[in-house]
């Protein structure tokens, strides 16, 4: 009997992220409440820089970004907000880091939870992902349900079904 497996990963599709940020920037440029404002949003590799005139506009930019991200299938858990800091010309700047991969400590906690469920599957941490394998597809599906039902502070996806 062959073994089946899948990987648990935490990643954000780069194109979807670019689309979300570009649409948010376009909306900020055209919205009436941002008229004559220095508010902007910019993507650099895996970080998004938000610049806003004041606290209220910063929160509005974050709301716009969150709405566009959700529409693109990006989990809000993948966005890690830094501390707002004062920037030039009396503006506020906030850096939002896009988290990629599952950290080793988080993967260990996930592995422990799967083992405690008494399902007949084995887990292996590989770089920034977790491989789950077992003889029964049903056990793998139960494992997926278990992980989906967990209150995790990071986004997870299931890939490489074999």
My answer on whether 70 and 128 are in the same domain is no
My answer on whether 94 and 26 are in the same domain is yes
CATH number of the domain to which 131 belongs: 3.30.70.860
pLDDT over threshold 70, residue 1: no
My answer on whether 93 and 106 are in the same domain is no
Domain that holds residue 75: 14-98
Q: Which of 55, 83, 98 is the last residue of a domain?
A: 98
Cα dihedral: 118, 119, 120, 126 (round 10): -100
My answer on whether 20 and 81 are in the same domain is yes
pLDDT tens, position by position, 35-75: 888 888 999 988 999 999 988 999 999 999 999 999 999 98
Q: Both tokens of residue 124?
A: 């292996």
Supply the pTM of this predicted model. Answer: 0.81
pLDDT tens, position by position, 66-113: 999 999 999 898 899 999 998 888 889 999 999 888 888 888 888 888
pLDDT tens, position by position, 4-24: 888 889 888 899 999 999 999
């Amino acid at each position: 009997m062959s073994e089946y497996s899948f990987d648990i990963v935490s990643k954000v599709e780069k194109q979807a992220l670019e689309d979300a940020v570009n649409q948010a920037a376009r909306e900020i440029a055209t919205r009436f409440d941002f008229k004559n404002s220095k508010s902007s949003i910019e993507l650099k590799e895996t970080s998004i820089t938000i610049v806003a005139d004041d606290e209220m506009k910063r929160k509005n930019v974050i709301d716009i970004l969150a709405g566009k991200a959700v529409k693109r299938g990006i989990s809000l858990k993948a966005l890690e907000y830094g501390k707002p800091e004062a920037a030039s010309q009396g503006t506020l700047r906030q850096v939002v880091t896009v988290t990629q991969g599952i950290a080793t400590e988080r993967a260990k906690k996930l592995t422990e939870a799967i083992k405690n469920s008494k399902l007949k599957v084995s887990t292996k941490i590989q770089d920034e992902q977790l491989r789950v394998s077992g003889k029964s597809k049903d056990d793998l599906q139960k494992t997926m349900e278990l992980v989906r039902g967990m209150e995790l502070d990071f986004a997870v996806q299931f890939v490489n079904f074999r």
